[in-house]
Amino acid sequence: MSVSGTTPSLISKLPARLTNFFARYPPQIYSSLARPEVPETAAAEATTPTAAGEESEGLPSPYTPNRDAKGHKPADPKAFSPSRALLYSDPKHPNPFLPKKNFRTGKWVSPRFGLRQQADLVKLAIRYNVEELLPPGRKSTEFKQTRREECGLRIKGTGIGQKVKGHKWERTMEARLEDRRKAMMEMPEMIRAWKQRGHGRGWKKWPKR
């Protein structure tokens, strides 16, 4: 959809809040459509699975978590992520939905529109079907969707390459079942020997408590 091709009739239909916003922040400069494409290399790097991700594929059962795994490390906040790449701000025309860092003083300047106002604008824009004309922000459908894909269900240990320590009964489950299986395999032989030795009279191997 070309922004310049937006018909005057559409603009007249929009509520004043949106028209005022678009007058102040023209979509040609600020909208998510005007955002440059994410470089291919950066995107590819982000999608390649890490070494930890490859390890998890050989996991035999959910009851044998890696004992070395002590939770997963939180992701590097400065690392590339698809959702973060969406939050683009042109240095010449700072995105009014994003905070800005003053590199001289090192201080952050709050966004021109707070999250509450952003959410209102986005909801309004969605109702009038002009969401993509708004600047990219944390309240946009696109951002929310990308972030949901990235974070998954937000349950610890469910992501790729993530593990949890688990309860002790979970960690030892496999070994205990193996012991039980072996014991049950030998049970008929054991009972036979026990009966042979006078039902325990000559029995030597008593278990320890």
Residues that bind another protein (CB under 8 A): 176, 179-180, 182-184, 187, 190-191, 194, 199-201, 203, 206-209
Structure tokens at 116: 């509450």
Cα separation, 20 vs 10, in Å, equals 14
Paired tokens of 70: 């002590």
**CB 79, CB 26: distance < 8 Å:** no
> CA 122 to CA 17: how far, in whole Å?
11
Cβ-contact 13, 128 below 8 angstroms: yes
Nearest to 9 by CA among 19, 1, 17: 19
Answer yes or no: are the C-beta atoms of 137 and 131 closer than 8 Å: no
